[in-house]
Amino acid sequence: MLVLKILGVLIALFLLLGSIFAFNEHCQEKFGHRFFTTPMLVVLGVLGGVMMIGHSWYESSLETYSSGYELFKIIINSETSNGLVMMALSLFAYIGIAIYNFIKTNWIYGFFGTIIQFGLLSLIAYVGAVILIIGGILAFFGSTFSQSVYVVNK
């Protein structure tokens, strides 16, 4: 039963990846715009990181400084404003990317493409960053404990 579950998940991931590639190619042919590109992966990864850091900064400063102005149940003071500014800048950049997608395509393709793009590329960038860090650590330790290689036939 476990093999069937693993096989089902792999088939579902393969179908999801295939449908994303098909959607990307269709948008390229119809509008000349691709939603899923490497630069957009980097941009959305950085924006997601800035958003998470800003939220973490806001939450940690809220525990220390819980007084200040309150607007829509958001406490604003000199310490919490740093995290709020980071989240706002990230949100404005997300809105800018969504507007760019709407301009390059029509409303239907822009809406669904942007939703899929924000969800998948942010997740892929986050998971990819974790895998990259683990790979870097493994490469460092692998090269640290390796022995020298000498060329015999020269």
72 contact partners, CB below 8 Å, separation of at least 6: none
- Structural domain count, the chain: 1
* Statement: residue 8 has pLDDT above 90: yes
Q: How confident is the model over 114-137, as pLDDT tens digits?
A: 888 888 877 777 777 778 888 888
Q: What is the DSSP letter of 74?
A: E
Q: Range of 96's domain? A: 38-144
Looking at the domain assignment, is residue 128 inside a domain? yes
pTM: predicted TM-score of the whole model, two decimal places: 0.70
Residue 70 belongs to a domain: yes
Q: Is residue 26 part of a domain?
A: no
Q: Report yes or no on 102 lying in a domain.
A: yes
Confidence band for 71, pLDDT divided at 50, 70 and 90 = low
- Rounded Cα distance between 34 and 109, Å, is 11
Token pair in block for residue 111: 């809406």
Residue 30: inside a domain:
no
Q: Is residue 12 part of a domain?
A: no
